[in-house]
Amino acid sequence: MNNFGNDPSGETPDFDPLEPINFADLALQSPERGPVVIDGVLREGAVGTVVSGTKGRKSWAMGALIAAALTGGNWFGHAVTRGRVALIDGELTRATIFWRLGKIFEVLRVPPTAFDGLDVWDMRGRTKDVDRAVAAVRAKGAGYYKIVVVDPLYCFYPDTPGFSENDNAAMRRVYDELIGFAGDTRAATMVVHHASKGNQSDKGLTDLGSGAGAISRAGDAHIAFRPHAEKGAVVFEGVPRDFPDIIPSCWRWGFPLFQEAPDLDPTKLAGKRPQKNATQDFLDGGKATPPAWTPESYAANFITGEGKTLPRLQGEAAKEGIAERRAKALTEQAVEMGYAHEWPGRNGPGGCRKRYANIPCPITETDGPKERENAHARPPTPPAVRKRTRGGGDARKQSKAGGGGK
């Protein structure tokens, strides 16, 4: 990936100096973000990084993503837009790629008529020619591929003497190339990367990948598969740039796919030491760590009909061991999934902050046309849910296949 599909001579082309754009002109242009490709994860022309440990079945997970794209299915609970896929693989042989994808396609019932939507470049043993493969993908034109999978990232590092993945400046340049490639092709580009060595349970999500911090900061989504305390299970989580944080969920390996495991606790990571600051409620119940919260159980326990501001919700959630950032993400997801309603705030004298409730925003006699329109635009109240019990567990659970196709 010396130039990721640009001029293989390595010469820097002449560019006009960058000119700033006045915000008034930008407002006239009103640029819009690209269409969503992986719901809640990645858009067209964006770059995502998937991180997991050695032999963590990352390539199998990418096979499930490919199957979802070819059929318009789901990937770890996230809907995927149907479209063509390009796979650039630097580790597996052609026969292994065919065998693995064949097993996944068989289980997910990907029809042979969809096979034409996948183009594979197997670069094992010849990654020095990867620029040619990337140039071929770029030559197809913008929008030809919906998703491009680059697996793994390290096989596409430049052979420049002294290059190191621990060098922030060097990795920033690598991701600059990836970002340019994704922009030119308009494809959601998913890059597979290895986790650093050692225990991953006590590390922050964006600290999981091996090498420089620029790897997690430069992309548009940082996705991780962390080993769960139960052998063969993983915790799927992520931090997208354009969406709320992905709430951690558990998935159990069952060849050749991961299947959702709602019976597992995503806080129980492999190698994680027992929490010493668990809330008294859980200590009294004999539990070392609190159970996982879902948007449904969060809304049922904290969001009521009176309308609460986000700081108030965060304060109440903190008493149950929920961090402010996670409380914000759970609130946004609860609104998005219909378990809560957002009441718009008002500016000026007598104004108020935006609030959240489990009923639509009421209409008052003082409301103007815009307030009435906002109130009527609220989605219907979802069916009532039971509050979670102290022992953990939600009133309703749904199991989704990790990458199931429609």
Q: What is the pLDDT of residues 303-317, one digit of tens each?
A: 998 889 999 999 999
Report the amino acid identity of residue 114.
Answer: A
The DSSP code for 383 is P
Do 359 and 233 lie in one domain? The reply is no
| CATH code of residue 89 | 3.40.50.300
Do 252 and 282 lie in one domain? The reply is no
pTM of the model: 0.66
Is 406 part of any domain? no
- Count up the domains in the chain and report the number: 2
Q: What is the mean pLDDT of the chain?
A: 82
Do 184 and 305 lie in one domain? The reply is no
- Pairwise CA distance, residues 319 & 198, whole Å: 32
At 68, which helix (H) or strand (E)? helix 58-71
pLDDT, residue 369, reads 52
Do 218 and 361 lie in one domain? The reply is no
- Pairwise CA distance, residues 61 & 75, whole Å: 9
The DSSP code for 394 is -
pLDDT, residue 13, reads 45
Alpha helices in 186-287 (DSSP H): 214-218, 280-284
Do 116 and 234 lie in one domain? The reply is yes
Question: In this predicted model, what pLDDT tens digit does every residue of 184-211 receive, in sequence order?
Answer: 999 999 999 987 666 666 666 665 666 7
From 230, 260, 290, give the residue that closes a domain: 260
pLDDT, residue 195, reads 73
pLDDT, residue 274, reads 56
Higher pLDDT, 381 or 166: 166
Q: 19 to each of 12, 200, 259, how far by Cα in Å?
A: 19, 43, 50
- Pairwise CA distance, residues 64 & 87, whole Å: 12
Token digits for 370?
């815009």
Expressed as residue numbers, the domain containing 127 is 34-260
Question: In this predicted model, what pLDDT tens digit does every residue of 335-371 receive, in sequence order?
Answer: 999 999 998 876 655 557 789 999 998 765 455 555 4
pLDDT, residue 156, reads 81
Is 93 part of any domain? yes
pLDDT band per the 50, 70, 90 thresholds, residue 215: confident
Is 403 part of any domain? no
Work out the number of other CB atoms within 10 angstroms of the CB of residue 258.
24
Residue that the structure tokens 């390009």 belong to: 86
Do 174 and 38 lie in one domain? The reply is yes
- Pairwise CA distance, residues 191 & 197, whole Å: 19
From 201, 228, 260, give the residue that closes a domain: 260
Do 219 and 325 lie in one domain? The reply is no
- Pairwise CA distance, residues 78 & 72, whole Å: 11
pLDDT, residue 362, reads 77
CA-only gyration radius of the chain, Å: 23
Do 230 and 156 lie in one domain? The reply is yes
